[in-house]
Amino acid sequence: MGVMRWVGRGSLVLVGLTAVAIGGVFAQSERVIAGKAAPRARKAPVVAHDSAILARGRKLTIMRGCQDCNTASLGGKVFIDDPAFARIIASNLTAGDGGVLAHDLMP
């Protein structure tokens, strides 16, 4: 009878330690989640407009194939229009009206 009593007490101790460990992990995770910092304000990137930078950008867009999906000025265009599949339109990558960079570069 004494052995069963020790086994029972040992089991209760293990269950208690497991509960404490689970509670500690939960409390720590809640503390981490609540402590998330607000995102930092993004600064608008400095955009250079000299001819060397523009020539380099033009070269990179040709080398990387950006002009395959977009126009030469990186505006959006339809680049797949197949009724069997879908109509896929490339994003307007410019900072102009409707471009994805318009919000990032404009104050």
pLDDT for position 23: 96
pLDDT for position 2: 80
pLDDT for position 25: 95
Token code pair at residue 58: 């033009």
Q: How many helices (H) and strands (E) does the chain have?
A: 4, 2
* Distance (Å) of CA 60 to CA 23, 54, 55, 56, 86: 54, 10, 9, 6, 29
pLDDT for position 107: 47
Residue stretches of the chain with pLDDT short of 50:
105-107
pLDDT for position 27: 92
| Report field, pTM of the whole predicted structure over 0.75 | no
pLDDT for position 104: 52
